[in-house]
């Protein structure tokens, strides 16, 4: 059995019964169940429809996301999340670079790396090199003045943890940021790269080994094994090319507001919903959310 989930942006819900019901009827699905009125609904299916992605494209134009998953095991035991442009609204290295006066140059490299056009490790070391000489104190300034939490993140983590879940933040960014983001949102643990500094000044380098695409996959396997369950019981979320490995290895891999080339390689694509979409995808109703 499979479950089809339709969802929208909670800040501007636009899912109506006629649209959801028509899709369920066209696909020969079961009765429509509302997870949140006007915001998210689901229905059962016997098989994955052949025209899934054509229907997905049609609904995208109307501000609606659509996903079809196996019903069994849909509620996951662990969240594995990227940080930059996923759990927060910014790319930390771009914000640091802006403070260093090399913002546009670094932003271009970041965009190309996240789109899969550049080797992640090479792109990271190149960008960090441009931060050489920046006072280490700027990290705290950037966090306090520029970093914002992505909508729905705290509710996602609180709800999963209230239901026995574990939350891990795994980033190609920096521990100086993941430590604070993890604490603010309620993650159980975090992994990232370390910006190196001497005498209060950034050296323009990062600690080795660099945490990139493969390290995120390793984290998925290591953490799930340590906790006694399988990768199939993990829901992973990210937006960049360096996230694709963990999105493919997890039981559910969600490309959230991802770069087009990344989304095209993901089985679950959320472009309109916020992070609470990951709860709807697991079958949680809004009434089940933990504030």
Residue positions annotated with a catalytic role: 82, 84
Asked whether the beta carbons of 90 and 147 are under 8 A apart, the reply is yes
What is the number of other CB atoms lying within 10 angstroms of the CB of residue 7?
A: 26
Residue in 120, 99, 100 with CA at minimum distance from that of residue 109: 120
Where b means 16+ CB within 10 Å and e means fewer, 116-139 reads bebebbebbbebbebbeebebebb
Contacts of residue 99, Cβ cutoff 8 Å, sequence gap at least 6:
134, 138, 141, 142
Q: Is the distance from CB of 285 to CB of 165 less than 8 angstroms?
A: no
Please, are residues 273 and 281 in contact by the beta-carbon 8 Å criterion? Answer: no
């Amino acid at each position: 059995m499979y479950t089809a989930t339709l969802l929208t942006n909670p800040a501007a819900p636009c899912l109506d019964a006629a649209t959801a019901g028509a899709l369920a009827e066209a696909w020969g699905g079961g009765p429509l169940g509302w997870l949140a009125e006007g915001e998210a609904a689901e229905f059962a299916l016997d098989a994955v429809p052949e025209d899934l992605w054509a229907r997905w494209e049609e609904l995208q134009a109307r501000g609606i996301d659509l996903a079809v998953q196996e019903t069994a095991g849909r509620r996951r035991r662990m969240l594995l999340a990227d940080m930059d442009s996923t759990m927060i609204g910014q790319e930390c290295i771009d914000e640091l670079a802006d403070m260093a006066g090399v913002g546009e140059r670094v932003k271009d490299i970041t965009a190309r790396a996240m789109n899969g056009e550049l080797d992640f490790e090479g792109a990271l070391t190149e960008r960090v090199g441009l931060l050489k000489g920046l006072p280490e104190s700027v990290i705290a300034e950037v966090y306090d003045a520029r970093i914002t939490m992505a909508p729905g993140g705290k509710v996602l983590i609180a709800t999963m943890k209230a239901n026995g879940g574990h939350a891990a933040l795994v980033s190609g960014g920096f521990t100086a940021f993941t430590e604070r983001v993890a604490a603010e949102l309620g993650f159980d643990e975090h992994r990232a790269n370390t910006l190196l500094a001497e005498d209060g000044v950034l050296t323009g380098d990062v600690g080795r080994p660099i945490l990139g695409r493969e390290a995120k996959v390793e984290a998925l396997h290591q953490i799930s094994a340590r906790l006694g369950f399988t990768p199939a019981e993990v829901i992973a979320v990210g937006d960049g090319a360096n996230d694709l490995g963990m999105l493919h290895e997890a039981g559910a891999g969600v490309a959230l507001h991802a770069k087009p080339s990344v989304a095209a390689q993901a089985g679950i694509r959320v472009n309109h919903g916020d992070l609470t979409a990951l709860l709807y995808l697991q079958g949680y109703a809004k009434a089940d959310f933990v504030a």
